[in-house]
Amino acid sequence: MARVHSKHTYASLAGNDLSQYLNDSDWTRSTDIRKLTTYGNNNEVYAGGLGDGSTDLSGTYDNTAVTGPRAVIEPLIGTNAVFVYRPEGTGTGLPERSVDVVVGEYKETHPVADYVMWTCKLQHSGDVTHSTQA
């Protein structure tokens, strides 16, 4: 098993590379679980339903007027945008996922003895495209 360091992770939102501002990200996929138990069963019976997913991003605030996280993400709140995620970084043969997302939240935190940080919550919308980078 080969290990992959997270420092290579790539994430873009609406065509804007946010990787240089990120220090944490997650990719979550789940499914509805439907209960199908009928009379005569001794145990519960379940089946998978519709898929769902979300991504949380967080990082260091940067006040760059055009390309910083606030400038990119804040105008997208409540809208759909394409999110591209490359957990192993950018390169030929490496995996890539892309999905339409609803930008649900952008949050900044301002601790008294630390740097300004930000978080963003993305709700996956529709099917995920899994591909290999060319």
Q: What pLDDT digit, counting tens, does each position of 9-42 carry?
A: 999 999 999 999 999 999 999 999 999 999 999 9
pTM exceeds cut of 0.95 = no
Domains annotated for the chain, with CATH where assigned, are 6-132 (2.40.30.200)
Record the tokens describing residue 123, joined without a space.
């709700």
Candidates 122, 119, 125; CA nearest to 103 is 122
Whether 9 contacts 19, CB under 8 Å: yes
